[in-house]
Amino acid sequence: MNPTPLAAKPVSGSQVIMTEMVLPSDTNALGTIFGGKVVSLIDIAAAMAAGKHSRSVVVTASIDALNFVSPVKLGEYIHIKASVNFAGRTSMEVGVRVDKENPLTGEMAHTATAYLTFVAIDSAGKPKPVPPVTPGTEHEKRRFEAAKIRRAARVKLAEQLKHDA
């Protein structure tokens, strides 16, 4: 017997926006935020987005295509925006965009972009089904289609790694 399909959810239901100020403990010798700190914030925002979409406990399966575009300096604000781009049977791709803001001028600049895959898990720690995503806007539809291409590449890489192990 097949389980009842889950109702699709809009991308907007998974959106997360986090903002933090870069403090001295967050910075390296150059006075810019540690890359690892940015990765941590990206992972947290993405996990929240995947959790909101699936209404489940989620685990990070992969982080790919993480690109740092510009540094964030001490005292600047860092804005992390995350939402589910695509959902498979038990996994979700979450897109994350990081921007910085100069608190004195309000000037904004793109800082980093990343794509992460999360898997929803049940109380036994096993993967569980997640709802499909319904992209609404043209931007969401473009991201949805691009996510399908990235997913195919991830599946191919996983097969290659399994074969090479």
pLDDT for 80: 98
pLDDT of residue 157: 86
Q: What is the pLDDT of residue 93?
A: 98
152: Cβ contacts below 8 Å, ≥ 6 apart: none
Q: 126 is written with which tokens?
A: 């096993």
pTM: 0.92
Q: Are 90 and 32 in contact (CB under 8 A)?
A: no
Q: Which pLDDT belongs to residue 4?
A: 64
| pLDDT value, residue 69 | 95
What is the structure's pLDDT at 47? Answer: 98
> What integer pLDDT is reported at residue 65 of this predicted model?
77
C-alpha 110: how far from chain center = 16
Fold category of 9-164 in CATH? Thiol Ester Dehydrase; Chain A (3.10.129)
What pLDDT shows up at residue 64?
86
Give, for all 165 residues of the chain, the pLDDT tens digit: 456 678 999 999 999 999 999 999 999 999 999 999 999 999 999 999 999 999 999 999 999 878 999 999 999 999 999 999 999 999 999 999 999 999 999 999 999 999 999 999 999 999 999 999 999 999 999 999 999 999 999 888 888 888 887
Q: Alpha-carbon torsion 37, 119, 12, 152, what sign?
A: positive
